Structure 1
Amino acid sequence: MVLTSGLVVLFVMLALGIPVAISLAVSGAVGLYLIGGSHVVIGIIGSTAESAMHSYEFAMIPLFILMANFILVSGVGDDMFDIAKKWMGRTPGGLAHATAATGAAFGAISGSSTAAAATLASTSIPGMIRQGYDVKLASGVAAISGTLAMLIPPSAAMVIYALLAEMSIAKLLIAGLVPGLLITLTIILTVLLLVWLRPDHAPAAQSYSLREKIRSLRTAWSFMLLFSLVTLTIYLGIGTPTEASALGALGAFVLAVIRRPNLRVFAEATVRAVSASCMIAFIVFGALIFGYFLTLTQVAQNLITFLAESQVDRTVILICILGMYLVLGCFVDLITMLILTVPIVSPLIVHLGYDPIWFAVLTIIMGEVGMVTPPMGLNCFVISKYTNIPVGQVFRGSYPHVLAHLVLVAILAAFPQIILWLPGTMN
C-alpha cells in the first residue's frame, strides 16, 4: 500500500508536467512519511542535500558537460565533418555517412547528446540539403548520430548509470566504445539501404583529390588530443575517470581559446554548462530521496523473490525489461528513465546471472532509441530547433534507424563478448 501510494504520487506529478526532480523528491518524501513519519523525512532530506553533490565521482558530470560546451563553441565539430565529408563524400549518401562518422567522433570527445545533435544540425544538415538530400533522410541521420555521444566515452549517461548501480565507471565507459563503433556502422549501412531504395534522396556529392583528403587531416590533431586526454587516459589507467574528465574540460577550454577567443561565447558556454549541471544535480537529489523510499519498501528484493518463485525463464525477463525501456523512452528522457529503473532493475539483472556492464550498455542503446522516438525524442526537437525542419519530419526520418538499432540490440544481447571484450583487457 505504501509503495503504491508513492508511485501514484510520482506518476500523477509527472503526468501534470511537474519537473522530474520535484516529482521524485515529493513522491519519495510522501512515501517516507507513510513509513516512518516526519522525523524520517526531515532526517533523510537533511543528509541527502549534502551527500548528493559531495561525491568525487559526480564531479565528472559537470566536467563532461563543460567539455561538450567548449567543444561546441570551438568549431571542432566543423573540422570533423569536413574531414569525413572529404573522405566519404563520393560514396552513395556520402554526406549522410560523413554525418554518422562525425557523430561518432564528436561522441568520442563529448559526453552530451544534445550538444552533438546541435553540432550536427548546424554543420551537416545545411550541407546535405544544399546538395539535394531528402529532408527526412538528412534530419533523421543527424538525430540518430547525435545519440552516439551517450554511448561512446566520455558519456554523462554512463556515469549516472554507474553511480546508480554502484559499478566501475571506468569499465562501463570503455565498454561503450565497440558498440558505439558498431552503431556507427549500422547507421551507415541503413543509409546505404535507404539510398539504394530511393537514389534520388541522396544525389552524388563532390569528389576530392587524394591531396585534399590528406590535407584535411591537418585539423585532426584537436580530436586526437581530446580523445587521448579522456578515453585513453581511462583505458590505460593513467588517471581516474574524474581526472580524465578534468583533463578533457581543460583541453577543450584551451582549444576554444585558441580557435575562438571570444569572452561572450565563453560566458554563454559556461552558463549552459552550469544550467545543465544544476538540473542534473537537482534530479539526482530527488532520485536519492525516492531511492531511500524504494530501499525501505524492499521493492527490488520482493521483485527478485517473486520472479524466482514464478520460474519465468530469464531470457523472457530480459526481453520484457528491454521492451520496458523501449516504451519508457517514448515518454521520458534517458536520465529520468535511468533514475527510475536502475536501482530496481540492476539487482534483478545480477540475480538472473547476467553481466551488469553488458546490460548497462544495452540499456543505454535503448535510451538512444528513446532520444529519437515520439513524443519525447529530445534529439529530434533539438534538430528541429536548429534547422526549422518540422519535428514530425525528423521523427519520420529516424524510423529506419530505430529498426536498425533494435536489430543490433538483438545481436549484442546474443553475443555479450562483443561488449565485454574491451573492458576485459583493462588493468
Structure 2
Amino acid sequence: MAITSAFLMMGGFFLIGVYVAGALGVLSLILMYVFSDAPLWNIMGNKAWETNTNFILIAVPLFLLMGELMLRSGMGERMYGAVSRWISFLPGGLIHTNIASCAIFAACSGSSVATSATISRVSLPTFRSRGYSERLVIGSLAAGGTLGILIPPSIGLIVYGVLVEESIGRLYLAGFIPGFMLAAMMMIMIIGAAILFPSIAPKEPGASWRLKLIGLLSMIPVIIIIMVVLGSIYAGWATPTEAAAFGVTGALVLALLNNSGPPIMAGLLKKLNSSGSQTGTIANLQERYPDVEGALSQSMTINFDMIKDSILSTVRTSSMIMLIVIAAFTLSFAFARLGISHDISQWIIGMDLSSTQLVIVLVIFYLLLGTFMESFAMLVTTVPILAPALVATGVDLVWFGIIMVILVEAALISPPEGINLYVLHGVRRDVQAEMDEAAGAAEEMGTITDVYIGVLPFMGVMAAVIVLLIIFPQIALWLPDLVKGTR
C-alpha cells in the first residue's frame, strides 16, 4: 500500500508541476504521517542539519563559485580564442572549438548550464556570420555543455557519491577518461558530418604558430588552477572541499588580474613610489615605461559587481541543489523506515538479472525518464532507492555512477524537458536581438525545433559511449584502480 501510494503521489506532483524539492519533501512527510509514528519535524530538522553540515557537500557551492568567477572574469572569451587557433583547421572548423572549450571549461565550473551559457554567448555571434549550420552549432553547444557534469570537478558526481556513500576521489578518477572520450567521439562525429556534408561547416584558415603560442600562454593561469584542483584530489593531498577552496582562491586571483573596476590596489604603486621603497622589476619597468603605473593599477583591480553577481548566482544554484538533496535524503529515510527500499530491492533481486542485464534495464529506464523528468531530480529521487539492489547484484557503484551521470547528461538535452536546450535557445535569441539591433535589420529567428534536431547526433554519441562502458567497464575503472588500488 505504501509503495503504491508513494509512486502515485510522486507522479501526481511532477505532472502538476510542483517544484522538485517541494514534491519530495511533502511526499516524505505524508508517507511518514500516514504510515508511521515517526517524529516528523525532528526528522526533517536532523536531515536538513546533516546535509548542510556535510563536509563533502560544501564542495558544491565552492566549485560553483569558482566557475562563476572564471566565467565573469572573461576567461571564456580568452579560452575560446586560444582553443580555436589550435583545432579550427579540422573538418568542421569552429564547431570543434565548441566541444573542446566546453570540455576545458567543464574542468573549471562543474556545471552544465554555466558551461553551455558561457561558451554559447562567446561563440554564437561568430557562427552567424560565417555560414555554419545553425542546427549543428546549437547541438554542439548543448551537448558540449553537458560535459560539465562528467569531467571533474563535477557537481553531479559529488551528489551521486554522497547519495551512495562512495569515494568522490574514485568517482573523479573514473570520470576523467570517459569524459574526454565522450568529447573526442563528439569531435569525430563532427569531422564525419563535415566530410559528408561540406556545406554545414566552411573550411577555416589555420593560425600561425605565433598566434597559437600566444593563445596557449594566455591559458596558463587557467591550466594551473585546474591542475592544482584536480591534482590535489587525485594525489590525495586534499579533499574535494579543500581543493574547491584552492580553486576559489585561484579564481579570485585570476579575476583580480584580468578585470577593472572599483580599485582595491590602484594606489599601491603610487604609495611605494612616494615612500621610496619600490625596487626591483616594477621599479625598472616604471623607469623605462612611465605609464606602467596606470596600466598595472588598472590590471590589479577587481570589479566588485562581478564578485557580487558571482556570489548571488552561486547562492541561487547551490540553494536549489541543497534543498533537493535535503528533500531526497528525507524521502530516502522515509522509504527505508517504511520498508519500501527493501521491498523494491527484493523485487529487483527476484528478477534474477545479472549485473550487466540490470544496468541495461536501468539505462533504458533512465533514457525514458529523462524525456519528461528534470535531470537532477531524476538522479536524487531514484539512486538512493536503487543503490541497495545494485550492491546486492554486484554492480560496482563507481562504474554505475559514470553511466548514471552520462544518462543525466542525456536528460539535459532530451526533448522536451532538457534544460540545456532552453538555455541555448534563450542565449540564441539574446544574441540575435543584439546583432539585429547593431545591424538595424531583423533576421528570421530559428525555433526550438532546430535545437531539438541539432542535439540528436550528439545523443547518439552518448548512447555509443554508454554501450562501450557497459561492454568495457575498465574504461571507467582502470584509472581509479591504478591510482587508488583495486577493491
Which of 385, 388, 392 matches 1:351?
A: 392
- The equivalences for 1:2-401 within 5 A come to 2-37=2-37, 40-260=39-259, 261-388=302-429, 389-401=446-458
Structure 1 residue 313: Cα displacement: 4.1
Partner Cα separation in structure 2 for residue 358 and residue 15 of structure 1: 32
Partner Cα separation in structure 2 for residue 309 and residue 105 of structure 1: 44
Structure 1 residue 187: Cα displacement: 0.8
Cα pair 2:354 2:393 within 8 Å, conserved: no
Structure 2 unaligned runs (5+)? 260-301, 430-445
Structure 1 residue 418: Cα displacement: 0.9
Shifted more, 306-315 versus 110-119: the winner is 306-315
Equivalent residue for 2:264? none
Amino acid at match of 1:290: L
1:217–1:310 distance in 2 versus 1, CA, 3 Å: closer
Cα pair 2:356 2:470 within 8 Å, conserved: no
Give the number of equivalent residue pairs: 426
Shifted more, 320-329 versus 152-161: the winner is 320-329
Partner Cα separation in structure 2 for residue 416 and residue 275 of structure 1: 36
Cα pair 1:104 1:181 within 8 Å, conserved: yes
Structure 1 residue 235: Cα displacement: 0.5
**Whose Rg is larger?**
2
Secondary structure at the aligned position of 1:244 is classed as helix
Partner Cα separation in structure 1 for residue 85 and residue 73 of structure 2: 21
Determine what percentage of the aligned residue pairs are the same residue: 31
Partner Cα separation in structure 1 for residue 80 and residue 216 of structure 2: 11
Residue-by-residue CA offset, 1:378-398 (whole Å, 9 max, x unaligned): 111111111115322112100
Structure 1 residue 304: Cα displacement: 3.1
Structure 1 residue 36: Cα displacement: 1.8
Structure 1 residue 229: Cα displacement: 2.2
Question: Normalization by structure 2: what TM-score?
Answer: 0.85
Partner Cα separation in structure 1 for residue 350 and residue 385 of structure 2: 18
Partner Cα separation in structure 1 for residue 110 and residue 324 of structure 2: 18
Secondary structure at the aligned position of 2:205 is classed as coil
* 4+ runs deviating over 4 angstroms: none
Partner Cα separation in structure 2 for residue 34 and residue 304 of structure 1: 23
Amino acid at match of 1:83: A
Structure 1 residue 310: Cα displacement: 3.5
CA RMSD of aligned residues (A): 1.4
Secondary structure at the aligned position of 1:133 is classed as coil
Residue-by-residue CA offset, 1:219-245 (whole Å, 9 max, x unaligned): 121221221221111001111111001
Residue-by-residue CA offset, 1:163-197 (whole Å, 9 max, x unaligned): 00011011111211100110011110111122122
Amino acid at match of 1:47: N
Secondary structure at the aligned position of 1:403 is classed as helix
Amino acid at match of 1:108: A
Structure 1 residue 218: Cα displacement: 1.0
1:170–1:366 distance in 2 versus 1, CA, 3 Å: same
Partner Cα separation in structure 1 for residue 347 and residue 14 of structure 2: 28
Amino acid at match of 2:2: V
Residue-by-residue CA offset, 1:285-322 (whole Å, 9 max, x unaligned): 21122111111233332233233333234433221101
Question: Normalization by structure 1: what TM-score?
Answer: 0.96
Equivalent residue for 2:459? 402
Secondary structure at the aligned position of 1:205 is classed as coil
Structure 1 residue 340: Cα displacement: 0.8
1:112–1:308 distance in 2 versus 1, CA, 3 Å: closer
Equivalent residue for 1:423? 480
Cα pair 1:229 1:251 within 8 Å, conserved: no
Secondary structure at the aligned position of 2:182 is classed as helix
Secondary structure at the aligned position of 2:413 is classed as coil
Partner Cα separation in structure 2 for residue 314 and residue 174 of structure 1: 22
Structure 1 unaligned runs (5+)? none
Structure 1 residue 84: Cα displacement: 1.5
Cα pair 1:7 1:27 within 8 Å, conserved: no
Partner Cα separation in structure 1 for residue 254 and residue 122 of structure 2: 19
Amino acid at match of 2:392: H
Secondary structure at the aligned position of 2:326 is classed as helix
Partner Cα separation in structure 1 for residue 45 and residue 243 of structure 2: 32
Partner Cα separation in structure 2 for residue 277 and residue 254 of structure 1: 23
Partner Cα separation in structure 1 for residue 351 and residue 23 of structure 2: 33
Secondary structure at the aligned position of 1:207 is classed as coil
Equivalent residue for 1:412? 469
